[in-house]
Structure 1
Amino acid sequence: MQQAEIAKLLAGADDPGLFSAAAALTRENFGDEVYLRGVVEFSNHCRNNCRYCGLRVANTAVHRYRLSVEDVIACAGLARELSIGTIVIQSGDDFHYTRDDIARIVVEAKARADVAVTLSLGDRADDELLFWREHGADRYLLKVETFDEALYAQSRPGLTLADRLARLETLRRAGYEVGSGVITDLPGMTPEILANDLVRLAELDLDMVAVGPFVPHPATPYGDAPAGSILTAFRAMAVLRLLSPLANIPSTSALNALRDGAREQGLTLGANVVMPSLTPETVSPDYAIYPGKNAFRADARSRVEAAREAIRRVGKIPSTAVGGSKRRRHV
């Protein structure tokens, strides 16, 4: 699929055909199963100052928290009890936790339950990434947000796209299943940039690809920018499915932040993954990357069951499987 054709689809040239093709391709490769990934958001400290993110270091209004290593392991242990095949250990770029802290979390989480462990810790050093892989980490999630160099530099001050892409390559070489993603309607994004972003993301040939709409946070420089279009995000998700037939694609919580029920609708348009939070309810509202993130105030069990109910509402089947990369099996 050429970039010009993608741009037309993103503009709404053939929504029925696009959505139908994405749904059919998802069913062909994944059946009606939807994988669950339980996310443990263990720290909302971040050293970066991304202009779109509520956790940015300059936002002094955030109530900051850090879970102890023992608490993270306890949260991860819920995966077995709740029949979840994958846990995602996620934080801001917080170097308070050492290489050995994270390794201990990985080792003990896998010892407690038969789960895959995904790390989402930002720009950690190459030697740390390799160390965690050696200690059993299965996957790593590192969003790009956009492949446009100027927009990337504008949105993530002091950081470069080249460094991000190099780190993705390090992860691939280390043997991780690798995931990344982009934000639709990021301030300054044009339809041409988004079309190119989708092509570039698919060309990386990753195990997981994601797309979610921009949700403005009032305590950021982008706080007054308009929210992204849910329809554009749906179109981008469907295009990604056509470009990456075997990749795992989540229906993101950002969709529900803009419209209740949008996340489950995404499961009918190309997505096959949902990621409920296992973060303790005492701190989960503080992991406020954007307003509406973790808005469902309940314990982890209730959040997971709500996710399963949403999956069933659209005629899908909540899976208990680890949900490993199908792309790798076809290499």
Structure 2
Amino acid sequence: MKKNYAIVFELIEKLYRSNYLKQEEIIYLLDNMNDENKELLKRRAHETRVKFYGHKVFMRGLLEFTNYCTGTCSYCGISSLNTKIERYRLKLDEILECIQLGYNLGYRTFVLQGGEDPYYTRSRVEEIITAIKIKYPEVAITLSIGERSYEDYSAFYKCGADRYLLRHEMASRRLYNKLHSNMSFDNRRKCLYDLKKIGYQVGAGFMVGLPGQTSEDLAEDFIFLKELEPHMVGIGPFIPHKDTKLGREKGGTVKDTVTMLALTRLFLPEVLLPATTALGTLDPLGREKGLKAGANVVMPNLSPISVRKKYSLYDGKVCTGDEAAECRRCIEHRINSAGFNVDMSRGDNINWRRI
């Protein structure tokens, strides 16, 4: 036991110093960490985020503008496989109203998120980006609308989009193919590399606690992230949705997710790392636990209250109260109480410049 403890300690310190571990070392770490090791890991992750970003927590206003989706992800509540969900799309004027509300509250980064909705053609997305940038030229626009063509991505970037979030979901081909019928593992990766080539700040990410997920699978996630070197990484626990194929499965935990956040901070020291809504759904203090383990971004919800419950990726999603962007003071108080400072600037990755 002592021998295991010593090896794990050395691996954490090695990762802290070099920001790299081999795949077999990651697997060993995941399989042998005890609670004391995890506390050390979180401390090292916190020290690393302070070194690069101080105690700042960057705020993004999240706008979920469509829940139509052609995707067939087995775990997702807005998947095309879910026939029970009430679908919606926001009109351009509704989107702009939400942006204005957020802007007046001090937000300078907006995340436009939706399913893979064919209604939003290249020209319609360009229209949204242009309308926002004309009125608020200094804000950052993040898109999160799934897999598109290189030409679409390039057009959106030229129009003024700055960032693109596309979780790789899982780096294990076996697990990906099992959970995504009629979707391409290779195309998703290609999209991420296309986005980097164009010049976006790129966000990847994965889920923790999926049925059948192994330490080997998670190790592949870290190896892939190290290879891709995204500017942002979104990590959340798997939370089952009752109207999906995985609706009766056991979900992931806050504890395991926080461990993955800490590891990600050490692998990618300069990454922008959100403490996700899903953490706050499982644990009232989940977001704070994420921030103390290396996370440095929070994305409160700016979507109209009338549609928030309809954008249900998983069951029990928190969408009002402290999670809502309009409750800025509540959020700020919670972040300050956890020992951090709210930063309402664009909050770009320190290594990114528009090309």
1:111-260 equivalences under 5 Å are 111-113=134-136, 114-260=138-284
Per the alignment, residue 319 of structure 1 pairs with 343
Counterpart contact for 1:130–1:174, Cα < 8 Å: yes
Per the alignment, residue 107 of structure 1 pairs with 130
- Measured in 1, the distance between the counterparts of 2:64 and 2:89 equals 9
**1:50 pairs with 2:40:** no
1:238: Cα distance to partner? 0.2
CA RMSD in angstroms comes to 1.6
Q: After the TM superposition, which of the residue ranges 152-161 and 272-281 deviates more from structure 2?
A: 152-161
- Measured in 1, the distance between the counterparts of 2:324 and 2:39 equals 36
- Measured in 2, the distance between the counterparts of 1:9 and 1:110 equals 45
- Give the letter for the 2:87 counterpart: R
Deviations 1:283-317 (A, max 9, x none): 11110001122432689553433322221120111
The change in CA–CA distance for 1:287 and 1:27 in structure 2 (over 3 A counts) is same
Counterpart contact for 2:323–2:331, Cα < 8 Å: no
Deviations 1:27-61 (A, max 9, x none): 11111110011111001111112100000112121
1:126: Cα distance to partner? 1.8
1:162: Cα distance to partner? 0.7
Counterpart contact for 1:168–1:178, Cα < 8 Å: yes
Larger radius of gyration: 2
The alignment's TM-score, normalised by the length of structure 1, stands at 0.95
- Measured in 2, the distance between the counterparts of 1:119 and 1:294 equals 22
1:66: Cα distance to partner? 0.7
Deviations 1:229-280 (A, max 9, x none): 2111111100000000001000111111211110121101010000111000
The change in CA–CA distance for 1:95 and 1:36 in structure 2 (over 3 A counts) is same
- Measured in 1, the distance between the counterparts of 2:322 and 2:303 equals 10
Counterpart contact for 2:60–2:109, Cα < 8 Å: yes
1:163: Cα distance to partner? 0.3
- Give the letter for the 1:135 counterpart: C
Match of 2:352, SS state, is helix
**1:281 pairs with 2:305:** yes
- Give the letter for the 1:2 counterpart: K
**1:27 pairs with 2:47:** no
**1:83 pairs with 2:103:** no
- Give the letter for the 2:94 counterpart: D
Match of 1:278, SS state, is coil
Match of 2:64, SS state, is strand
- Give the letter for the 2:228 counterpart: L
Counterpart contact for 2:208–2:257, Cα < 8 Å: yes
Counterpart contact for 1:281–1:297, Cα < 8 Å: no
- Measured in 2, the distance between the counterparts of 1:199 and 1:4 equals 11
The change in CA–CA distance for 1:323 and 1:117 in structure 2 (over 3 A counts) is same
- Measured in 1, the distance between the counterparts of 2:262 and 2:323 equals 32
- Measured in 1, the distance between the counterparts of 2:344 and 2:286 equals 23
1:215: Cα distance to partner? 0.4
The change in CA–CA distance for 1:292 and 1:162 in structure 2 (over 3 A counts) is same
- Measured in 1, the distance between the counterparts of 2:252 and 2:189 equals 25
Counterpart contact for 1:250–1:274, Cα < 8 Å: yes
Q: After the TM superposition, which of the residue ranges 208-217 and 75-84 deviates more from structure 2?
A: 75-84
**1:73 pairs with 2:96:** yes
- Measured in 1, the distance between the counterparts of 2:106 and 2:45 equals 28
- Measured in 2, the distance between the counterparts of 1:58 and 1:143 equals 20
The change in CA–CA distance for 1:19 and 1:34 in structure 2 (over 3 A counts) is same
Deviations 1:112-160 (A, max 9, x none): 3321000000012221111111101001000111011111011111112
Deviations 1:200-224 (A, max 9, x none): 1122111101211100111111011
Match of 2:246, SS state, is coil
Counterpart contact for 2:276–2:298, Cα < 8 Å: yes
Query: What percentage of residue pairs aligned between the two structures are identical?
Result: 35
**Aligned partner (choices 7, 14, 19) of residue 27 of structure 2:** 7
Consecutive unaligned residues in structure 1, runs of 5 or more:
none
The alignment's TM-score, normalised by the length of structure 2, stands at 0.89
The count of residues paired between Structure 1 and Structure 2 equals: 329
Counterpart contact for 2:288–2:335, Cα < 8 Å: yes
- Measured in 1, the distance between the counterparts of 2:154 and 2:70 equals 22
